[in-house]
Amino acid sequence: MDINSFDKIIKRSLDIREKYHQLEIKGNGAQWTLEEDALAYLTDAGLVGRNVMSHEKTWLKKDSAEELEHKLAENIWWLITLADRTGIDIKEAMEKFLTKTENIF
């Protein structure tokens, strides 16, 4: 994936999050706080774990390959939106992380 593709993914992710904020305002009178976003992310991260267990046949659920795929992507979406809300440039953060980790090896 080139950087322009990642830029498009980030923009689309933030556009979708803004639409959810509008639904939150309409339904609850306020958009979710940063903490509520973080808790929603953690819930979805836990569901990734359950779906991996289902994939490995160690959790009593139907084969959930489609759900696992969805939740993995949703977790990336959450991380993009959390980075944005905390003022972190996710592209720069990824570059730093990858470089630091590569240098360990």
pLDDT for res 58 = 87
Say how far apart CA 37 and CA 57 lie, in whole Å: 30
pLDDT, tens digit (0-9, with 9 covering 90-100), for 12-30: 999 999 999 999 999 999 9
Q: Across the chain, what does the average pLDDT equal?
A: 93
Mean pLDDT for the stretch of residues 37-58: 94
- Structural domain count, the chain: 1
Give me 38's structure tokens: 């973080």
Range of the domain at 11: 3-104
Residues with Cβ within 8 Å of 7's Cβ and at least 6 positions away in sequence, in order, are: 91
Mean pLDDT for the stretch of residues 57-65: 78
**CATH code for position 72:** 1.10.287
When pLDDT is cut at 50, 70 and 90, the band that residue 3 belongs to is: low
When pLDDT is cut at 50, 70 and 90, the band that residue 37 belongs to is: very high
